[in-house]
Amino acid sequence: MKRSIYLLPLLAFLLNNSLSAQTGIRLGFKAGYNIGTQYGIMPANLTYDVSSSARNGFAGGLILYFPITESFGVQQEFLYVSKGSGQHVTMTQPPVSTTSEYNIDYFELPMVFRYTFAKIGTVGIYGSSGFALSTLLKGKYNVDGVVDMGGVKIPFSESGNTDGLDKFDYSFIYGLGMNFDLFNQKCFFDYRQTIGWNTLMMPTSQGGEPAPLRNQSYTLALGFYLK
């Protein structure tokens, strides 16, 4: 196992040198802070209030940048991303209050089109857009609630995994970033918004209707390209 860990950076280095020499493709890595949220649409025939909170997590992995022109290129990424949210729901009929926490982790494959529209010295400012396919790796949920039975409040709690959740999610991507040199290393910093369009039926309390929610996340990441 230890030998494999030591071999990975060497293999990445050799792969990067081979790709760069033959095609100009750049191999790199990125890692950063991910703010995961989820959003949904409240049906008109139900009366309840919803407030959401974010899940603070990690996003990072391997990237391949394919330059097409000096200013334009395509970036394929292979990322581990933490998503999810907190959902607080208050219903009047029946009188129920629940707080749900969803922690779901994905292997995400974004394909992003990048265009550098401004350069200030060695710093390049770029915009990016694209799409992503995500595969669910693992997930869990926890629901705490209170039912008001005529003035008598009955608490309940439930937790479990998300085995019944869709394994795939699809997203749009928008973002801004900048390239810069740091200690003779090609680096970049970017901000990204990822908006899911697949409605996920998130589990709620036992016997309750699942919550139709879509993933949304905001990512701040720092990365670098191997020479």
Q: Which two tokens stand for residue 163?
A: 């085995």
Which class for 222: exposed (0-12), middle (13-18), buried (19 or more C-beta within 10 A)? middle
Q: Give Cβ neighbours of residue 147 (< 8 Å, ≥ 6 apart).
A: 94, 95, 96, 153, 154, 156
* DSSP-derived secondary structure for 60-94: EEEEEEEESSSSEEEEEEEEEEEEEEEEEEEETTT
Cα separation of 58 and 184, whole Å?
27
| pLDDT tens per residue across all 227 residues of the chain | 444 444 445 445 545 454 444 458 899 999 999 999 998 865 555 566 778 899 999 999 999 999 999 899 999 999 999 999 998 888 777 778 888 899 999 999 999 999 999 999 889 999 999 999 999 999 999 998 888 777 788 888 888 888 888 999 999 999 999 999 988 889 999 999 999 999 999 887 766 778 889 999 999 999 999 86
